[in-house]
Every structure is written in C-alpha cells, then in structure tokens.
Structure 1
Amino acid sequence: MPEKVPTNIITGFLGTGKTTAINHLLQTKPENERWAILVNEFGQVGLDEALIPDQDGLFIKELAGGCVCCALGPALTINLAMLLRRAKPHRLLIEPTGLGHPSGIVDTLKGISFCDVIDLRSIICLLDPGVLEHPQIMAHETFSDQLSLADVIVLNKCDLRPAELVQEAERRSRALFPPKQTVVRTEYGVFPAALLDLVCNEQLEQVFPGQQPAQQQKQAHQKDEHKLHAHSHSHNHSQSHDHSDAHGQTAQIQPQPGQPVNLTGHNDGYYSSGWVFHVNDQFDLKRVTQWLEQVPGAVRIKAALQGSERWISYNRVGSDSSTQSLAWRRDSRIEIISTTEPQLDEQRSALLACLNSVF
C-alpha cells in the first residue's frame, strides 16, 4: 500500500455513464494492484455492485440512500476508513450519486481524518452533451457544482448526440471558470487512465506527479493526440466485496419469492423507488423492459434482472435505454428515480405481472 493512496472522484449528473467509465478504468488496473471503489447511490437498494464485473484485487463499498456528502456525511468517514483498512488499496475511486455535491467529499478527504493517507488527484466529471437540450438540468445547482469542482471534463456519449451539441458542450466546458485542465470527447465512457494522475498546482497547469516541465509538455501533447476508442477486455476473476452495513437499510433487505421489498427516498425534488426480488423470482425480460421504458416521470432507471435463461442489466436515461448480459446472481433489483412521487401500488402490481415464474 502506498504511503498516501492516489484517489479520484468520478462525478457527473444522473445517467452520464460514471459506472461504465469506472468499468473501463478497471480494465487498465495492473494485475498486482488492489483498487477500492466507494459508490454512493441516491436510491435505497444499491445497484452498482451488481453492475461492476468481478475482478481480482477489487474491493467495493456501497453507500445507498442519499448524497454521501449530505445525508450520509458521517457514514462516509466511517465506511471510507473501513474500506481503506480492509483493502489497503493502491488506488481509490469514489463515485458520488449523480445528485450529489462532491465538495463535501473533497472536504472530508482533505480533513484531519484522511489528509495523511489520501492523495487526492484529478476530479473527473462526465458530461452528456445532450444535457444542453434539458434546461431544467442545466439550471440544477448540483449540476453546476459538479462542473465547477472538476479538474477534467469528459464529454461522454458523443456518438449518440448531434455534432453541433457536442461542439457547443465542448465550447462551454472550455470557457468555464476555474479553467479545466483538459476537456476530452469520448464514447462508452472510455478515457485515458493517465488522466487519473493529473494533479492541479496553483497555476492550474497540467501536471503529472514526478514529471519535469519538458515531460509535462510531451505528456500533454500525447494526451491530446490519444485515441479514446482502444481498450482492453477484462478477465473474469473472483471479487472481494465489503458487505458491512454501517449506513443503513440494504442489510435488512430479505425478500421472499413473489414478495418484493420496496424502499423509497425523496430529496432535492427527486424521488427514488427501489425494488428487490428474491433470487428465485424470474422475469419475462421482454415484458419487464417494455414496462420500464414506459414508467411515467422516470429520469433514471437501473436494474439487474433474472430471466428464465439469462440475467441482464437494464439502463435507462430519459428515453434512452439499453440492456446487456450480467454476471450478477444474487437477486433482481430495480431502482427508479423520478421527478414525480411514485405510485407504489401500481409499480408493485406491474412488476409482479412481469414475473415469468416463482419457485
């Protein structure tokens, strides 16, 4: 374990691709290193652990149920200390909820409890250029805070957005104050792992630890020329998860077959409705994904779902949705974040109607 653990905050508003980006970063992890990930989710049930693939030397801790730097502030200190003690990581990645203010996390990492063990490096903010078409998000205080605090802005989903939106998002990002160390475009959350080691000096220059000025200039040039599409494939290994639950409700989730558990939350104008189904509950995947695509008022939906023959992850941001195969085998879980209060009885009835079988 290094004397001070290199640490990055990977931030961004709801649905910008933070978890996908972290999955790609994990593919660059040296085999002899241990990495730790602290994930904070706005919803109550916690899904990111299910969406991050197994890998040796990886330790994950989830904090569900609110903003880790606000409602869960004390839990951040406790669980971060536990994670560092258990994993003894060579690198720490922190993924706040898309509705979280990262400034509170920075204050904690630089505070007396962690200043001697944490080496806070670049704060990376993922930005979907499509947000320019959503003025309610642009006006959101958290959205502005995330961009203001970032050292690096990664324009993600550039393949899905019109070229003029991507260009305008890049222009606005480069005009932000304080100035950003770099702004890059990418697809599928893939960006150079070298950006993790950017640090910020008093002149807001691009600096990599241990580099001389000439090396800095060479590195900056290489970074600008770097193609963001090449990446290696991960290998399937066993994964170490930290299931200690100093923070709340997820330890109490014990659904029975055909009797899902529902946990809800409400903060800052957004509502969360989380459902956890027993491992023996199987969904008609076509039926349940069709229903998820029509949930009224939903701005973000994530799910890990068991079908009769396979497991899938489901991801919806606004009207955009996608599915892919999933290695998770513990239970089916769904997290719906909306701007309107959820109709829980209707959700429960609809989800039960999507079950293929209960055994």
Structure 2
Amino acid sequence: MNASAIIQNIPCTLVTGFLGSGKTTVINQLLATKPAEQRWALLINEFGRIGVDGALLKNTLDAKGQSGGIAIREVSGGCICCTSQLPLQIAITRLLSDHHPQRLIIEPTGLAHPRELIRQLSAPHWQTALSMQAVITVLSGLQWQQEKYRTHHGFQAHVRDADVLVINRYEQLSSACRQDLQAWIATLNEPAKIIWATADSETAPEPQTTPHCQAVTNNLDVIKPSNPYLTELAAQLIKPSRTISQQRIANIEKSRVSLTPPTHLPSNMPTNANADTSIEADGQNELPYRYHEEQQGMLLAGWRLPPHWTFAADELQQWLLQLPNWQRIKGIVNTSDGWLQLNFTPDSLTITTTSAQIDSRLEIILLADSDIKSSATTRVGNNSSETKSEQQSLIEWERCDRELMALVVPSNSQP
C-alpha cells in the first residue's frame, strides 16, 4: 500500500497530565464528541507492563456502542518519550497504516516528559504525517492544593508545555484558592488557555463559603453532551498547537546553517512574480539556508533556496545521485529545464515538471551506519579506522553546500 495515501496530515492531539490528574476522563469526554461517521485512533502509553487504561477505555466505549469507530493501541512497559523514539514511531505508524484514522489522540503516561515528547512530535518526518493540534494538559485542582505536587518538577513540567489547561476537581476549592491557582499557572505558562471543567452550569460554579483553599465535596464526573465545557474542550481538537509550532521553529533554528550565495549572482535579483504564494515559508525568510540532523540511524538534510537561483538540471541530478548511501531525495527546484519536482528512491527516479514556486527546496535522507562507511570513502574521504561515534563525518555538509552552490547557473547564462 502506498504510504503517502496513509499518512496525510492526520489531526493529532496530545493529552498530557501528571499521574492521577484525570486524563482518562477527559479523553472519554473527547471521544464522546466523535462524529459517528469518522474513524478515530487512540494511542495509550502506560509506564507499567499490563496496560489497564486501554482495557478500561475499551470497556467504556463498548458500553456506549462507540468502539467500532475508535482504534486503541497501547505501548506499555516504559515512557514513549524516553531513550528512543522508536516505540512511539512504530506505534503511530501502525495505527495510521492499519486503521486509517481521521483523527489521532495520544495519551502518554503521567510520568512522561512532555517537552521531550513534543520535541519528538515536532521532528521533520512527522510534519507531513501529523497535523499537531493544541496540547491539552489536565490539571487536578486537588493535587495542586498539595505542596508536594505544586513543587514537583514533573507536575510543573506538564503545565509548562501546555497549549490548553483543563482544570478539573477545582470545584472543591474556594475562590481565593482558584485565583492562587491561576496566578501559579501564569508563572509557569502565561499564554496557556485555561478551561474550567464544569457539569451542567454555563460557567464555573461559585464555591461554597470556606476558609482559604479548604475543600468541599462535589462530583463532576458526569458531563452532559450539551455542556458548554464539552463544546469548548472539543474545539481544541481543531486548534493548531502554539507549543509544537515554537518547537519546530526552534528545531530549525538550532540546525540551520546560513549559506553564502554564489558570487556570480547579483544580491538584488527579484523573486519570481509567477511563484505560487500558497506555499508557506515555515517562518524562515532568510534564504538560502540548510539544516541537518540525525534521527533513528538516518542523516537528514534540507535546503531552501531563492527562487531566482537556476540550477543546471543534469548536473544537479548527477550530484544528488552521487550522495553517499542516500535513501530518499525529494525536491522542487528551479533548473535550466524549468521548475522540476524530484522524487528519488533507490527503486525509482521520478522527475516531473511543475509550476513556479516561492523557493526551491531539497531534502535528502542518508543511511547513517558504520557498516556502510567503506562505500562512501571516495565521496567524503572517510578513514576506515573511524569509530561509530564519528559517524557524523559520514558526509561533509559544508562541502555539500559548496558543491550545490557551484551548480547555480551564472545569471548571464540564464535564459
């Protein structure tokens, strides 16, 4: 099956929260809003090896007659954000390929490191597969009331990386205590949107008269479908994530390298007036630049280049195909043969003409493995005695930059 037909900007929501915060209840509420005709998927990560939450959710869904449209997959026995991205990558890929969901919800363990998980989901290889929506974090007012939680690094970490904070069990706190809670949140994450979980009322209920931060008893486990809280909660499923967008920009800024334009090009050449301006510039307006990084045994690199740079078509293709141990090459480039779309795999080389774009783009994936070094020695001058820790020298990125810049056709030679 064609992977491109499976992974196509699937809306994905991350629901985080410290241990015992009430994530499962909030996820059940989100699942209750699923249109009957849609297919949703839920990825649950439990730190233990038995996987209780998945069974509980499945039982709840079966009781409501909803399980037919919701696929559940569990990853047990450790945090998916720790040590390696592989368990997370495998679980998401299988959910998408096996069930073809129209929406994905991820519930990490309460012991997860939200920042690391957000960093992983911000990686380039997920940007076309997943459309990350607002990160929803569940915060228990009763937990926050206890100092051992307020001062706990893990408890605070969930708050810091939230787009939206759903505060439940707060109804047992006084008005003064709720104000303290809001002020505390602002010190950690001022832009975060706060949603107060309510049952039947239009707004958060007024607390009973009690001493400062003293609890009273009330139960808000039952949420009616017409409840405004549920409407506001469901709306977060279609709001892009500010947190993940910032992380993606940070990833690019950390790995991007400014390039020196070829000396034979004037610096004030205009951009192509016929370019398709519907393509976003990803917030990166300083062209040209290149990024590179290593993930899961692969070296990734990409270039964004001004649209008025015209590359020698044949020489560019030859240069790309000589890169060491390449696994995938994709690009949309202004060439001497016009704008070309490149899609290369070891089994297929596809080149098609396309319309003018707002910039030229190239992305490559190379196999980074010590076993294949010998085949790359003539290209990058590696020493066979290098250790695996020196794998980053498999390719000399600055040399690649220079070689690519040399393929730009001088302006007086361009048609």
TM-score by length of 1: 0.52
Q: Which residue number corresponds to residue 28 of structure 2?
A: 23
User: Equivalents in 2 of 1:57, 1:123: separation in Å?
Assistant: 23
Which whole-Å CA distance do the structure 1 matches of 2:134 and 2:81 have between them? 18
In the alignment, the residues of structure 2 paired with residue 29 and residue 140 of structure 1 have an alpha-carbon distance, to the nearest angstrom, of 35
Partners of 2:183 and 2:91 in 1: how far apart?
Answer: 39
Q: Establish whether residue 156 from structure 1 lines up as the match of residue 161 from structure 2.
A: no
* Counterpart position of 2:362: none
Please tell me whether residue 183 in structure 1 is matched to residue 194 in structure 2.
Answer: yes
Superposed CA deviations along residues 206-264 of structure 1, whole A, max 9, x for unmatched, are xxxxxxxxxxxxxxxxxxxxxxxxxxxxxxxxxxxxxxxxxxxxxxxxxxxxxxxxxxx
1:196 to 219, 237, 242: 237
Partner amino acid, structure 2, of 1:111:
A
- Residues 112 and 200 (structure 1 numbering): CA distance in 2 closer, same or farther, change over 3 Å? closer
Q: Which runs of 5+ in 2 are unaligned?
A: 1-5, 198-219, 224-228, 246-415
SS in 2 for 1:68: coil
In 2, the alpha carbon distance for the partners of 1:61 and 1:36 equals 8
Question: Does the alignment pair 1:128 with 2:130?
Answer: no
Distance in 1 (CA, whole Å) between partners of 2:120 and 2:82 is: 11
Tell me, in whole angstroms, the C-alpha distance in 2 between the residues paired with 1:108 and 1:201. Answer: 15
Map 1:189-268 to 2 at 5 A.
Answer: 191=230, 192-200=233-241
Unaligned runs of 5+ in 1: 205-359
1:49 aligned onto 2:44: no
Relative to structure 1, is the Cα distance of residues 161 and 14 closer, same or farther in structure 2, using a 3 angstrom cutoff? farther
Q: Which residue of structure 1 lines up, in the alignment, with residue 354 of structure 2?
A: none
Say if 1:43 and 1:160 are closer, same or farther in 2 by CA, change over 3 A.
farther
For residues 157-210 of structure 1, the C-alpha deviation after alignment (integer angstroms, 9 at most, x for no partner) is 123444443332123224433521x111114386420022222459x9xxxxxx
Q: Distance in 1 between matches of 2:157 and 2:186?
A: 16
The alignment partner of 2:92 has SS state of helix
Residue pair 1:10, 1:125 contacting (<8 A) in 2 also:
yes
Code of the residue aligned with 1:23 in structure 2: it is: N
Quick check: 1:126–1:155 contact (8 Å CA) kept in 2? Answer: yes
Does the 8 Å CA contact 1:5/1:117 hold for their aligned counterparts? Answer: yes
Kindly state the Cα deviation for residue 134 of structure 1 after the two structures are TM-superposed. Answer: 2.4
Deviation at 1:23, TM superposition (A): 0.7
Q: Who is 1:119 aligned against?
A: 131
1:199 aligned counterpart, secondary structure: coil
Between the aligned partners of 1:20 and 1:48, the Cα distance in structure 2 is 11
Query: How do 1:2-151 and structure 2 match up within 5 A?
Result: 3-52=8-57, 53-54=61-62, 55=66, 56-71=68-83, 73-151=85-163
Percentage of pairs with the same residue: 35
Distance between the aligned counterparts of 1:41 and 1:162, measured in 2?
Answer: 33
Tell me if structure 2 keeps the 8 A contact 1:66–1:72.
no
Check conservation: 1:155, 1:170, Cα contact below 8 A: no
Question: Counterparts of 2:34 and 2:98 in 1: how far apart (Å)?
Answer: 19
RMSD, aligned α-carbons:
2.5
For 1:113, what is the secondary structure of its paired residue?
Answer: helix
Aligned residues: 203
Paired position in structure 1 for 2:306: none
Give 1:136 shift.
2.4
Structure in which a larger fraction of residues adopt strand: 1
Alpha-carbon shift at residue 113 of structure 1 (Å): 3.0
Q: Distance in 2 between matches of 1:79 and 1:131?
A: 31
Counterpart residue number, 2:303: none
Q: How far apart, in 2, do the equivalents of 1:63 and 1:162 lie?
A: 39
Q: For the residues of structure 1 that align with 2:173 and 2:51, how far apart are their CA atoms?
A: 29
Question: How many Å separate the matches in 2 of 1:170 and 1:6?
Answer: 29
- Indicate conservation of the 8 Å contact 1:2/1:90, yes or no: no
Amino acid at match of 2:23: K
Identify the structure with the greater helix proportion. Answer: 2
Distance, in Å, in 2 between the alignment partners of 1:150 and 1:7 is 15
Contact 1:129 1:165 in 2 (8 A): no
- TM-score, normalised to structure 2's length? 0.45
Q: Look up the equivalent residue of 2:195 and give its one-letter code.
A: V
SS at match of 2:135: strand
